[in-house]
Amino acid sequence: MGRSKRTRESATDASTKSEITESDDLMAAKKPSVAASTYEREENTLVETPHTNENENDTGHLFADLSDALNAFQVRFEHNEDAYAFTRSISDAMARLTRVREVLDEFHAAAHQIVNAVEADVEAMAFGLCNETTALADVVETSEKKVVDAKSWISQLHQFTNVETAPM
């Protein structure tokens, strides 16, 4: 199971010939029509260079280099249908990867928007809690001062009412 296809093909001559024939049959079935391949070859842009955003990364440059190499390969072997199918397969894979990159960029942007919204909500909630707690602390402090003042008044009232009057 861990052996490569190439290793399995070289196991016996008979199986090698049959697998190569099956592989050739599959490739023949996947070949594009002559009209379609001629049209795309006339365009001379078999592979588009993917550009996802202004600040390209190394992968974008690698795709551009691969695109150039595939175009050169296509020009050199333009009359070979197998070579054309090879370049078309790689071009399609690159287009799919580009689309995946675009979708991931969209998810990335959406994730940033969600995080920014959550951050704004948390910040607003934190400020609200701080302001509310500060206001409640001010009320408690004012109440404590009123309690101290009331105790002072009560103490003074007790002192005034408990004063012994001297006989006259």
**Domain-embedded: residue 98:** yes
**Domain-embedded: residue 141:** no
pLDDT band at 160 (very low <50, low <70, confident <90, very high): confident
Please report how many Cα atoms fall inside a 13 Å half-sphere around the Cα of residue 7, on the Cβ side: 4
pLDDT in tens, 60-77: 677 778 878 888 887 888
**Domain-embedded: residue 161:** no
Q: How many structural domains compose the chain?
A: 1
pLDDT in tens, 68-119: 888 888 788 878 888 888 888 888 888 898 899 999 999 999 999 999 999 9
Token pair 């550009």: residue: 51
The boundaries of the domain holding residue 127 are: 31-135
Length of the chain: 168
**Domain-embedded: residue 57:** yes
